[in-house]
Structure 1
Amino acid sequence: MIKRLWAKLSGSIAPKPASMEEGNVPTHVAIIMDGNGRWAKKRGLPRMAGHHSGMKTVKRITIAADRLGIKYLTMYAFSTENWKRPKAEVDFLMKLPQQFLEIELDELIANNVQVRMMGSRDNLPSHTIHALEEAVSKTAGNTGLVLNFALNYGSRIEMLDAIKHIALDVKNGKLDAEDIDEDVMSSRLLTCDIPDPDLLIRTSGELRLSNFMLWQLAYSEFWFTDVYWPEFTEKHFHEAIETYQRRARRYGGL
């Protein structure tokens, strides 16, 4: 039944464009989901309405990514800087993972999606942590698309923590300073067991990284759009993938 529901919704997703190259899709796509509040304001709605609508977009894009054969999808859900927002908005945002997973978890399990979370659990409400830990636990054995939520995540903190761990290993004689290289640094990051993003998408017209995966995005392709996240569709997603396919990734070479 659940698979049929997923298939039914998948059937409403725009088909892959004929112009899209077979097989040449990014392994890992990262998305900065931006513009929920501005989308709501434009319509005379409270900001919370934008966040709620944006939650529905997460499912649509997850299905679209899964259908294309993308292996990892990282969604920037809440940054360490977002705590500066009004308490009512933060409280609402902390409820969204629970609401999303209560509705979607069974479908994610049935369709072999593995849920992960990267970020600090510090300051997160217990109901948010419980919902995410349950989703991570119940989908741990799934081997399909990895849906990775960056929640209470900040790249600078992530890198500082990695450096501290490396320094401690050097101090304790577990690592020689001259052996520190990019692989060592990468192995201490929260993404140590997944590849760096091939493609970063940011919605809403903003042209910055906002402290998101600064190390991991060193050689990623970027794609920006003025479209707000709640109105971001699979057609926009396909456009981003097609743009990626037209680019030559030389990694500093010729």
Structure 2
Amino acid sequence: EANELLFRQLQTYLDDNLDNIKRKGIKLWMIGEKSALPEYLQATIKNVEEVTKNNTKLELMFALCYGGTREIAQATRSLCEKVKEGAIDPEEIDEELMEKELWTGPSRAPNPDLLIRTGGRIRVSNYLIWQLNQTELYFCKTYAPDFKEADFIEALRSYQQRVRTFGE
């Protein structure tokens, strides 16, 4: 019942705000197992993604029915199918090819530079497991609803003080 309520609220929000989203130049898209969503929400998301696909001012990515390990498993299954069909050789599989199979895809969203984890948890919680490989992590005890501009600035200051070596 809780999921149904949230799904209906999201559908209502998207339907009611689509013109505003488009006018502001926001590109909206979703990652996750769309097939696990109710059909009415799948249709709404498909419409919003289509209507906003050419917008360039801001990209807003929703993660619904998403898990990083599920994303990697799905990408692996997809690559296995391509090998089975003869479309690729197993030796061709590398990081770049794997990234193309992920829900985020290489052309959809860059890997995050900074992940801010609120609520005192010191973990990434199965979120963008592959994409976080070079991401700087910032943990704070403030819960998300109470996370304010000053907290965000503190996270950015912490990030600015780091030396990024990208695995070198």
TM-score by length of 1: 0.60
2:89 is equivalent to residue 148 of structure 1: no
Distance 1:126 1:178, change over 3 A: closer
Q: Determine if contact 1:207/1:224 at 8 Å carries over to the other structure.
A: yes
Distance 1:235 1:137, change over 3 A: farther
Aligned counterparts, 1:3-22, within 5 A: none
Distance 1:234 1:95, change over 3 A: farther
Tell me the equivalent position of 1:202.
117
Task: Work out the CA distance in 2 between the residues paired with 1:237 and 1:102.
Answer: 30
Task: Work out the CA distance in 2 between the residues paired with 1:95 and 1:231.
Answer: 25
Query: 1:97: how far off?
Result: 1.7
Query: 1:124: how far off?
Result: 1.2
Task: Work out the CA distance in 2 between the residues paired with 1:204 and 1:99.
Answer: 28
User: Bigger relative contact order, structure 1 or 2, given CA contacts below 8 A and separation 6+?
Assistant: 1
2:123 is equivalent to residue 228 of structure 1: no
Tell me the equivalent position of 1:138.
51
Percentage identity across aligned positions? 37
Q: Determine if contact 1:115/1:147 at 8 Å carries over to the other structure.
A: yes
RMSD of equivalent CA atoms: 1.8
Task: Work out the CA distance in 2 between the residues paired with 1:119 and 1:202.
Answer: 20
Tell me the equivalent position of 1:98.
11
- Letter of the structure 2 residue corresponding to residue 220 of structure 1: T
Q: Determine if contact 2:119/2:140 at 8 Å carries over to the other structure.
A: yes
Runs of 4+ aligned residues of structure 1 deviating over 4 Å after TM superposition are none
- Where 2:65 maps in the other structure, the secondary structure is strand
Distance 1:221 1:96, change over 3 A: farther
- Where 2:162 maps in the other structure, the secondary structure is coil
Task: Work out the CA distance in 1 between the residues paired with 2:52 and 2:150.
Answer: 28
- Letter of the structure 2 residue corresponding to residue 166 of structure 1: L
Per-residue CA distance 1:66-120 (angstroms, 9 max, x = gap): xxxxxxxxxxxxxxxxxxxxxx322222223224324543332222111010111
Query: 1:222: how far off?
Result: 0.9
Per-residue CA distance 1:6-45 (angstroms, 9 max, x = gap): xxxxxxxxxxxxxxxxxxxxxxxxxxxxxxxxxxxxxxxx
Query: 1:190: how far off?
Result: 0.8
Per-residue CA distance 1:164-191 (angstroms, 9 max, x = gap): 1112222222212222111111111111
Structure 2 stretches of 5 or more lacking a match? none
Query: 1:131: how far off?
Result: 2.9
Task: Work out the CA distance in 1 between the residues paired with 2:68 and 2:17.
Answer: 28
Structure 1 stretches of 5 or more lacking a match? 1-87
Distance 1:226 1:215, change over 3 A: same
Q: Determine if contact 2:30/2:63 at 8 Å carries over to the other structure.
A: yes
Q: Determine if contact 1:97/1:131 at 8 Å carries over to the other structure.
A: no
Aligned length: 166
- Letter of the structure 2 residue corresponding to residue 187 of structure 1: K
